[in-house]
Amino acid sequence: MTQTGNTRIAFIETLTEIAAQDPTAALVCADSILVVKGQAFAQKYPERFVDVGIAEQNAVACAAGMASCGLVPFVATYAGFITMRACEQVRTFVAYPHLNVKLIGANGGISAGEREGVTHQFFEDLGIVRTIAGITVVVPADEAQVRHATRAIHKTPGPAYMRIGSGRDPLVDCEDVPFELGKVRVLADHGNDVVLFANGFVVNRALAAADVLSRQGVHPTVVDVHTLKPLDREAIVDLLRQTGAAVTVEDHNIIGGLGSAIAELSAEACPTPVMRIGLRDTYPRSGEPGPLLDYYHIGVADIVEAAKRAMQMRDRKVR
């Protein structure tokens, strides 16, 4: 049984710590205070809390106005309501004028929609924000990483989007690998046979797949690409060169997210077989995260299989 943490609480606790130091930090909700457990923040910092009601477009544009006056608003609600309903506000009124607004998207991925169905499962958010110029995109792997990422985006001026989960988010046992915005984290280095790039709440699956591969005599490297934008091009190209075979693992549509980002970079800088593991451009069912991810071929066995296919493609090319 996977141990879980709570990325929503990790976010709000960190923001509360930040607010104790930085009087400009603010929380903007769209009737989403319960989503991010923001009650204590609102009580402690009523002058730094705004709820605009169920009106995400309003929330994002208001936050832009607040940022223009020197505040650092964190807009927190469901990932899809920020990136889809308020997409134009994010693009034209936050990113284009480069305003210091932080967007926190909950229920990122299909695994977050345990009880809720497609309306509350968001697997397009990263593809949408990634196409918007001038915005940092972060996909932390678990609650500990959310704490680091929240601090990092607060410290870095400019627009940012950070994905959080459902509040039942698997823990990754790699706390000792430091987090640096814009840099990949190498979580396991079994060797250079194949590289597994992963991010978000399926990083633990990539690590489990690496263990399976190792036992079978294949030696992978597992890399957490928590910053989807700007991408750590140098480190990723190095890894592609060293291994010549790659797999991407994400809880997102295979179009637009990590798989796309790595494939684009690979095609331009170091052509390498890249197998994408993710939701294969369909609308998922909902249910418990484990079986759900397995059903949509984001399982450990799928990653193992994909790694072998990537290596086969590489080796055929050599012959």
Partner 1 sequence: MTAVVLRIKSIQYRLRLLEYIKKAGAGHTGGSLSCVDILNVLYNRVLNVSPENFADSRRDRYIQSKGHSVEALYVVLADKGFFPESDLETLCRFRSPYVGHPTRKIRGIEQNTGALGHGLAFSVGVALAGKKDNADYRVYTLLGDGELAEGSNWESMLTAAHYHLDNLTAIVDRNQLQISGHTESVCRLECLTEKFQAFGWSVRSVDGHDVTALADVLGSIPFEVGKPSMVIARTIKGKDVSFMEHDAKWHHGVPSDEQYERARRELETLLMEAGA
Chain positions contacting partner 1, by CB under 8 A = 26, 47-48, 50, 52-53, 55, 57-58, 61-71, 73, 88-89, 92-93, 96-97
Token readout for 53 is: 């009601």
141-196-172 Cα angle (round to 5): 25
Nearer to partner 1, 86 or 265 (CB): 86
CB of 55 to partner 1, least distance (A): 4
CB of 155 to partner 1, least distance (A): 21
Nearer to partner 1, 68 or 312 (CB): 68
Q: Where does the chain show beta strands of DSSP type E?
A: 4-5, 25-29, 49-51, 72-78, 102-106, 136-138, 160-163, 169-170, 185-189, 194-198, 220-224, 227-229, 246-253, 274-279
Nearer to partner 1, 63 or 194 (CB): 63
CB of 42 to partner 1, least distance (A): 13
Q: Which of 206, 215, 210 is nearest to 276 (CA)?
A: 206
Nearer to partner 1, 67 or 79 (CB): 67
CB of 48 to partner 1, least distance (A): 7
* DSSP symbol at 122: B
How far is Cα of residue 82 from the mean position of the Cα atoms in its chain? Answer: 14
CB of 28 to partner 1, least distance (A): 9
**Residue 262, number of CB atoms within 10 A of its CB:** 26
